[in-house]
Amino acid sequence: MPRKLSLAASTALLPFPPFGPTVMTLRIDRITKSYPNGVRALHNISLTITPGMFGLLGPNGAGKSSLMRTIATLQPPDGGSVHFRDIDVLREPERLRAQLGYLPQEFGLYPNMPADAILDHFATLKGVAGRGERRELVGQLLQQVNLYDVRSKSVGGYSGGMKQRLGIAIALVGRPQLLIVDEPTAGLDPTERNRFLNLLAEIGDEVVVILSTHIVEDVRELCSQMAIINRGEVVVQGAPQRILDEVRGRIWRRTVPRTHADRYKTEYQVISTRLAAGNTVLHVYAESDPGDGFVAVEPDLEDVYFHRLAAAAGGHVPAEA
């Protein structure tokens, strides 16, 4: 279920305009993209995204970053259209950028500058002209991302999680109505990851937030809508609960000796494996009870994810399983 959190007091310092869900809809229609090296990154991607947290889940190389860069007007597609509110994104990129916050997978910071100076710089770029207004905005943002007490410290000494939170503050400088975050928790330790997800949950109540990730837990804990993308195509989309209902009663588990695992992979539709105490825990997809010691389990998004990826790969279990 999506994480439901009360808004921190500091969040209230940065209200977002109360636009209705229809007005705020992001519509992606039949987007395609291939690169000069022949790689087809996107193929007929169509999604409708309304306010709240939307999870875009897929393995590395699935096309997630290509889609995020296209929505963010950083690269043109070969075909298709993108609309946000009344904006034709591909024809009016400057209008979209005025309402966009974007935290890419990798971004650079000036390591010798303090956080408050960096945010002041970006506020200037966003057109906040008054020094007093910028100072107030910077202070509010630093409180919101819990960096106010280290605002004067050079960001080169920040941890990975602190840098990610500063990245979100930068993305929020213009009070965006569309926020895109690309693989934001990759490499974070559990404490920083949890802090960052809490921050996203607070922001996501008011604007359209797209969370692009390969980490199933991030989507399970945060998002009320989601899509799984693989090899540049959407393989499933909808509410997580509806997606789970589609495989309920079809996921089965058995623990076997590690040396027997390969035999089961040839006899059953194994969607994931993991080691536990020297044995292998198998999850298989089957329309009815496969017998042979398998027991039914309540599915989770990992089961859906691995099932869809295995089906797309012709029944082969993904390497990351």
**229 closest CA partner among 52, 92, 53, 31:** 31
Is residue 169 within a helix (H) or strand (E), and if so which, with residue range?
A: helix 160-171
Instruction: Count CB-CB contacts under 10 A for residue 153.
Output: 14
| pLDDT for the residue 315 | 54
What does the pLDDT read at residue 17?
45
Domain 9-237 has CATH 3.40.50.300: yes
pLDDT at 81: 97
Helix, strand, coil % over all residues of the chain, rounded to 5: 35, 25, 40
* Separation between Cα atoms, residue 19 and residue 169, nearest integer Å: 22
| Parallel/antiparallel/unpaired status of strands 100-103 and 178-182 | parallel
Q: What pLDDT is recorded for position 193?
A: 85
Q: Is 15 helix (H, G, I), strand (E, B) or coil?
A: coil
Which pLDDT belongs to residue 23? 67
Distances (CA, A) of 34 to 43, 44, 236: 9, 11, 22
Measured CA distances, 242 to 22, 40, 56, 237, 288 (Å): 22, 30, 16, 9, 20
pLDDT in tens, the chain (321 residues): 444 333 333 333 444 444 444 468 999 999 999 999 989 999 999 999 999 999 999 888 899 999 999 999 999 999 999 999 999 999 999 999 989 999 887 787 888 999 999 999 999 988 888 889 999 999 999 998 889 999 999 999 999 888 989 998 999 998 899 999 988 887 788 888 888 888 888 887 778 999 998 888 888 878 989 999 999 999 999 998 888 888 999 999 999 999 999 999 999 999 999 999 889 999 999 999 999 999 999 998 889 988 888 877 665 554 434
- Per the CB < 8 A criterion, the answer to whether 252 and 290 are in contact is yes
Extents of the domains making up the chain: 9-237, 246-312
